[in-house]
Amino acid sequence: MSAARTGTLGAHTAGQLRRLCALTGLDPADTQTYADVLTTALGGAAGRPLDLPPPSGTFLSDDHTPVEFSLSFTAGAAPSLRVLLEPGCGAGSLERGGRTALAVVREMARRWDFSTERLDGLRDLLLPPAPHGPLALWIALELRRGGVPKVKVYLNPSASGPERAAHTVREALRRLGHERAFDALPPADGYPFLALDLGDWEAPRAKVYLMHRDLSATEAAGLARTAPLPPADGLAAFFRAVAGPAAERGLDRRPGLTCHAFTDPGSGRPSGFTLHIPVRDYVRHDGEALDRAAGVLTAHGIDPDPLVRALPALTARRPQDGVGLIAYLALAHQAGAPPRLTAYVSSEAYAVRSPVPARPAAEPVH
């Protein structure tokens, strides 16, 4: 399903960002700064009219918009707004896209005075010449007050070959000082991302994302490797509330992901665990996804109202008229911090996935 689309990719996504900034309490100066940062990072793709096809086939989002927003919630605090983007989306190839994105990271590092050393040391492994797909380099920005975002980069463990992904992750962790980290990871069916915090973080993380096919609520609760472990019943309850009936049979459509964050080189164990559920593949429409999100937020003592208001900040369509606006719901446990819930919300600059039709009433039997 797609409506007539006018304007440019940059204007569309910057407009969404401005409305989300307003509802998360960022002031007009910070909002202006972050809208400019997004537009600049998209480069030439920002000026691309929306009635042309997406600039790349990126899987950053389902409709290939190279931008996705997220709202991250902890009890008792205002939600924080983040934006994930693919700066190299307009470059024409994965290799050139990777180079473009790296240049954008370096420009951000100069502007906000942080070091790219941790990334530079991995370049041969994760940004090689002639890289394998499906991504090269994505950037996520946490849009803090003050106009200086926190920066994360997302890299592709399969860049040096899908069959080398496990080795690449092990070697990257080793270079980052986490010698024994790889052996602490639970079993997985794939390594979709390796992410690094760059810049002004109290404890910069190296994060390994694992893919798990047919994951069930009970299995998911057993995948954390932090000390102490997050409460297994809380993870299972989150999983059931988000995945619905699929929680027992397992996530048989898009797989669940776990993320293991390493901050302390000495310990050999991750200090953070996140469970990501692709809610969009387990609901009929976004009204249902929003109900599930509101349920888990409320269960954690968090007001769902900012998320409810985020949807009309993104699109004029009604939640029940499509599915995918809420892409993932995630529950994160980081040592020493309260649990955090994150909703990843789509730009839908190019397309809306149709809702799953309600099952037709049974034919009368004659």
**Should residue 238 be labelled a site residue for ligand TRP when binding is judged by CB under 6 A?**
no
Q: What are the structure tokens assigned to 128, written together?
A: 């090689």
By C-beta, is 68 or 286 nearer to ligand TRP?
68
Q: Which of 37, 38, 41, 60 binds ligand TRP (CB under 6 A)?
A: 60
- The first and second tokens of residue 83, run together, are 């934006």
Determine which residue in the list 59, 121, 174, 227 makes contact with ligand TRP, applying CB under 6 A: 59
Give me the DSSP letters along 173-195.
HHHTT-TTTGGGSPP-SEEEEEE
Query: Cβ distance 65 to 349 under 8 Å?
Result: yes
Burial class of 162 by CB neighbour count within 10 A (0 to 12, 13 to 18, 19+): middle
Identify residues 189-208 at the interface with ligand TRP (CB under 6 A).
none
* Nearest residue (CB) to ligand TRP, 148 versus 277: 277
Output the smallest distance, CB 193 to ligand TRP, in A.
7
Q: Which of 33, 56, 61, 158 binds ligand TRP (CB under 6 A)?
A: 61
Burial class from Cβ neighbours inside 10 Å (0-12, 13-18, 19+) for residue 358 reads: exposed
344, 347, 348, 350: which one contacts ligand TRP (CB under 6 A)? Answer: 344
Instruction: Determine which residue in the list 257, 275, 307, 335 makes contact with ligand TRP, applying CB under 6 A.
Output: 257
Q: How far apart are CA 106 and CA 137, in angstroms?
A: 13
In the complex, minimum distance from the CB of residue 115 to ligand TRP, in angstroms, rounded to a whole number: 26
Measured CA to CA, the distance from residue 257 to residue 276 in angstroms comes to: 5
The smaller minimum CB distance to ligand TRP, of residues 68 and 288, is found at 68
**CB 262 → ligand TRP: shortest distance, Å?**
18
Q: Mark out the alpha helices in the chain (DSSP H runs).
A: 9-23, 28-42, 94-112, 117-120, 123-126, 165-175, 217-221, 232-243, 246-249, 286-299, 305-314
Is the CB of 24 or the CB of 58 nearer to ligand TRP?
58
Tell me the sheet residues that pair with 193: 209
Closest of 217, 362, 209 to residue 282, by C-alpha: 217
Q: For helices 28-42 and 9-23, give the axis angle rounded to 10 degrees.
A: 150
Q: What is the dihedral of CA 101, 331, 208, 87, to 10 degrees?
A: -10
Residue placing its CB nearer to ligand TRP in the complex, 122 or 326: 326
Which string of x and - marks every residue 118-157 that binds ligand TRP (by CB under 6 A)? ----------------------------------------
With beta carbons less than 8 A apart as the criterion, state whether 273 and 333 touch. yes
Of the residues 48, 54, 65, 68, which one makes contact with ligand TRP according to CB under 6 A: 68
Task: Please list every residue from 26 through 55 that binds ligand TRP, using CB under 6 A.
Answer: none
**Minimum distance from CB of 121 to ligand TRP (Å)?**
25
How many residues contact ligand TRP, by CB under 6 A?
11
Q: Which stretch binds ligand TRP (CB under 6 A): 3-11, 60-68, 219-227, 348-356?
A: 60-68
How do 67-73 and 80-85 pair as beta strands? antiparallel
Residues 74-93 that bind ligand TRP (CB under 6 A): 84
For residues 261-280, which are near ligand TRP according to CB under 6 A? 276, 278
Residue from 34, 239, 328, 350 binding ligand TRP (CB under 6 A) = 328
Q: Which residue has the tokens 């000082």?
A: 177
Taking every pair of Cα atoms in the chain, the longest distance, rounded to a whole number of angstroms, is 76
Summarize as ranges the residues that interact with ligand TRP (CB under 6 A).
59-61, 68, 84, 257, 276, 278, 327-328, 344
